[in-house]
Chains A and B, each alone.
Chain A
Amino acid sequence: MSLLRYEDRPVDIRPGETVLEALLRAGIDAPHSCRAGNCQSCMHRAIDGAPPPESQSGLADAQRAMGYFLPCICRPTTPLTILRPDDLNASLEAIVRAIDPLSEDIIRLRVEADGFAYRPGQFIELSAGEDLRRHYSLASHPEEDPFLEMHIRLHQDGRMSRHLAETLQPGDKVHVAGPSGSCFYEGVNVDQPMLLIGAGTGLAPIYGVLRDALHKGHRGPIRLYHGARSRKGLYLSDELRALSDARDNFNYRPCAFDPSAPHGGDVAATALEAERNIADAAIFLCGGENLVKRLKRELFMRGASLKNIRSDVFTLSG
């Protein structure tokens, strides 16, 4: 029996051969470049079995935790089943439990999916019908909630939005696949300062990460910035304020666009002004592409390490 499975088929691997060599020999068009474990072009993910530690050299803690490894320097000694890095696992059936408003145009969707393993802050693909699929981040906690929780902005002409607002009812079936993404607490040191910045429904993964940090007894300071276009978009602010009052190490800073507020209420500018000492911080950025790119670059230039910055870009697809 071969030590290597690629998706659902066995791939012959010879003693001493790397996973990359075996994939290429089997005619699989696996991307690669340096063949020395540096450029990460060939990265794959192990969904069964543990890749040898040296094959995860140079990867971020979050990537290692998810089973990512570099085939070009991986000589497995125990069985491995691997997928392309962006491949999702098979989808699972889930039951809609609740659909509730969080603000004027944001709803909270809770679905129950038995045996769906995830880390708070990761995202899933929600499928509500033939070619009606969207990615949503998880604000729920697997050890505290018997459901997956998503925060979804409703767009006037969005197909999924209309489906969620007008058709879907508790008890209905949907499908979930994944999880994906590295926005999760695992890999953060309990004493490390944490900087969480989310815009719009980018709060969902940030909220998930926050809950997991508190659940795991995080001791370092946690500062959360939430940006919204208006005050009404600052959903969950009562909960976050209450948490901030109750915890010495948690600080919540809501930012809504307002010409009279400092920086016009821009969450990125507000956070960048306040956050001067970020060299050792674990940083989470979730929101639109421009916001995430700007913050990532600025924070890196100011001394944050890229391996300490985790981000998810939210794209609009209605």
Chain B
Amino acid sequence: MSNLYERLGGEAAVNAAVELFYRKVLADGRIARFFDGVDMDQQIAKQKSFLTMAFGGPNNYTGADMRNAHKRLVAQGLNDSHVDAVIENLNYTLRDLGVGEKEVKEVAAIANSVRNDVLNK
């Protein structure tokens, strides 16, 4: 059995998902404020990077990168409920794209695995 990233469709799957996902995040009143004032083009590249990681694709992120990238947001109140909301939006995005429940769960589990680093716990 090929790995998760290949089963999902690799980079093409990330490209298909990234704008759908970003729209859902920006439309979600629970988390939209964390994206106020950020440059959308830079942000979409970061979202792509995040999805690549969550899809089990190539990345070299370290726990320290995750911590540094979210430090400012944690200071603004980023907590578990916001991580839950992001993962929820990720699930909806994958279902919109017709991804099977098994893969949806695997992606959610990878996203969840960086929770403590993201929240600087």
What is A's interface to B at a CB cutoff of 8 Å?
A: 33-36, 38-41, 57-58, 296-297, 300-301, 305-306
Contact A38 B41 (CB under 8 A): no
Judging by beta carbons under 8 Å apart, are A301 and B26 in contact? yes
Residue of A nearest to B14 (CB): A38
* A39 and B45 form a contact (CB under 8 A): yes
Least CB distance from A28 to B in Å reads 19
In whole angstroms, what is the CA distance A301 to B35 when docked?
Answer: 14
The reply to whether A301 and B23 contact each other, CB–CB distance below 8 Å, is: yes
Give the CA-CA distance A300 to B52 in the complex, in Å.
Answer: 21
Closest Cβ of chain A to B74, distance in Å, is 18
From known contacts A296-B40, A305-B19, A306-B40, infer whether A36 and B52 are also in contact, taking CB-CB under 8 Å: yes
Docked-complex contact A58 and B58, CB < 8 angstroms? no
Check A300 against B49 for contact (C-beta < 8 Å): no
C-alpha spacing A33/B48, complex, angstroms: 13
Closest-by-CB residue of A relative to B43 is: A306
Binds A, one of B59-67, B83-91, B97-105: B59-67
How many residues of chain B get a CB closer than 8 Å to chain A's CBs? 22
Mark B18-53 against chain A: 1 for CB-CB distance below 8 A, else 0. 010011001100000000000011101110110010
**Distance between Cα atoms of A41 and B15 in the complex (Å):** 18
Tell me, in angstroms, the Cα distance from A316 to B58 when the chains sit together.
43
Q: Quick check: B60 and A39 within 8 Å, CB to CB?
A: no
- Across the interface, B60 reaches (CB within 8 A) one of A36, A57, A58, namely A36
Complex: A301 Cα to B23 Cα, angstroms: 6
The CA of A40 and the CA of B45, in the complex, are separated in Å by 6
Within the complex, the shortest CB–CB distance from B92 to chain A, in Å, comes to 16
A297: B residues at CB distance < 8 A? 26, 40
Taking CB atoms, residues of chain A closer than 8 Å to B46 are 39
| A-B pair number, CB within 8 angstroms | 47
Write the chain A residue with the least CB distance to B48.
A38
Closest Cβ of chain B to A298, distance in Å, is: 11
Query: B61 contacts which chain A residues (CB < 8 A)?
Result: 34
Name the one of A33, A38, A40, A300 contacting B40, with C-beta atoms under 8 angstroms. A300
Bound CA span A34–B53, Å: 10
CB-CB under 8 A from A301, the residues of chain B are 23, 26-27
**Bound: A33/B58 CA distance, A:** 13
Taking a contact as CB atoms under 8 Å apart, the answer to whether B60 and A306 are in contact is no
Alpha-carbon separation in the docked complex, A34 to B48 (Å): 11
B48 interface neighbour in A41, A58, A296, A300, Cβ under 8 Å: A58
**Known interface pairs A39-B45, A306-B19. Does A34 touch B59 (Cβ–Cβ under 8 Å)?**
yes
Across the interface, which residues of B come within 8 angstroms of A296, CB to CB? 40
Evaluate contact between A300 and B23: CB separation under 8 angstroms: yes
Contacts of A33 in B (CB 8 A): 49, 65, 69
10 intermolecular pairs with C-beta atoms under 8 Å apart = A33-B69, A35-B60, A36-B49, A36-B58, A38-B59, A39-B46, A41-B45, A300-B19, A300-B40, A301-B26
Q: Which residue of B lies closest to A57 (CB)?
A: B11
CB closest chain-A residue, reference B52? A38
